[in-house]
């Protein structure tokens, strides 16, 4: 039995995408992006009060990078992981966890643009710096993708899911312009049914705008 605890368009989206790609049976419990995540009920699932949290075979787990490793080990037949001893294991792990480097900058911008309700609380300097840092992350992924269709030479994997979902969040704050290989890869992976199935339905969204200007006038 698998239950994913999820906030639409947040880091838990990468686990939802992974589960969709795996084709396994699972349930989704959707939580709002609010103080409910600090409730005793949710803290019993993830003591940090963040998503994702995953119930798997009676145990509770959290941290998206760890959940990707756990699920890929639990379902090796899906081919989305790279097990110990595989020649691409180190690269797979590197890009799985680089997704969090990208996401920390998107999280800072999400706080500035969405969590802070009043304009006087926001910092144009922080917004500009964090957007520029996303650009540096784009440079790193662009360099990796030169001459490749996917992050690994052997094809699509959970590494593409992790980084792809991080880029999905980042695209709300920093455009992919001047990163041709990255843009082509992103279009390729987001055309997959597994990605489309992980998108929120209707108005149940974290990001209400397609793009947030990083330094508002």
Mean pLDDT along residues 91-112: 97
User: Among residues of the chain, what percentage have pLDDT more than 70?
Assistant: 98
Domains 2-78 and 89-196 share a fold: no
Topology given in CATH for the domain delimited by 2-78: Glutaredoxin (3.40.30)
Average pLDDT, the chain: 95
pLDDT band, very low/low/confident/very high, at 203 (cuts 50, 70, 90): low
pLDDT of residue 215: 62
The three-class DSSP label of residue 73 is helix
Q: What is the DSSP letter of 77?
A: G
To 5 degrees, how large is the angle CA 34–CA 97–CA 137? 85
Strand order of the β-sheet with 2-6 is: 27-30, 2-6, 53-56, 59-62
pLDDT of residue 106: 97
Is the confidence at residue 216, as pLDDT, over 60?
no
Is the confidence at residue 113, as pLDDT, over 70?
yes
pLDDT band, very low/low/confident/very high, at 103 (cuts 50, 70, 90): very high
Question: Domain spanning 89-196: which CATH class is it, in words?
Answer: mainly alpha
pLDDT of residue 120: 83
Is the confidence at residue 34, as pLDDT, over 90?
yes
pLDDT band, very low/low/confident/very high, at 217 (cuts 50, 70, 90): very low
Q: Are the C-beta atoms of 43 and 49 separated by less than 8 Å?
A: yes
H or E element at residue 43: helix 40-43
Q: Per-domain residue ranges for the chain?
A: 2-78, 89-196
Mean pLDDT along residues 33-55: 96
């Amino acid at each position: 039995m698998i239950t994913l605890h999820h906030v639409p368009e947040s880091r838990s989206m990468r686990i939802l995408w992974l589960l969709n790609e795996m084709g396994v049976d699972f349930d989704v419990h959707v939580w709002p992006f609010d103080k409910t995540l600090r409730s005793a009920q949710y803290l019993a699932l993830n003591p940090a009060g963040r998503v994702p949290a995953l119930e798997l075979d009676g145990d509770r787990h959290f941290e998206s990078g760890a959940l990707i490793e756990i699920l890929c080990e639990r379902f090796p037949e899906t081919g989305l992981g790279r097990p110990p001893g595989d020649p691409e294991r180190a690269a797979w792990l590197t890009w799985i966890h680089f997704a969090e480097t990208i996401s920390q900058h998107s999280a800072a911008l999400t706080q500035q643009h969405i969590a802070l309700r009043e304009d006087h609380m926001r910092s144009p300097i922080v917004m500009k710096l964090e957007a520029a840092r996303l650009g540096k992350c784009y440079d790193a992924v662009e360099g990796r993708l030169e001459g490749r269709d996917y992050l690994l030479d052997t094809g699509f994997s959970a590494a593409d899911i992790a980084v792809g979902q991080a880029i999905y969040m980042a695209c709300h704050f920093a455009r992919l312009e001047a990163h041709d290989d990255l843009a082509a890869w992103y279009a390729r992976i987001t055309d997959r049914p597994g990605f489309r199935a992980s998108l929120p339905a209707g108005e149940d969204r974290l990001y209400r705008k397609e793009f947030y200007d990083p330094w508002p006038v």
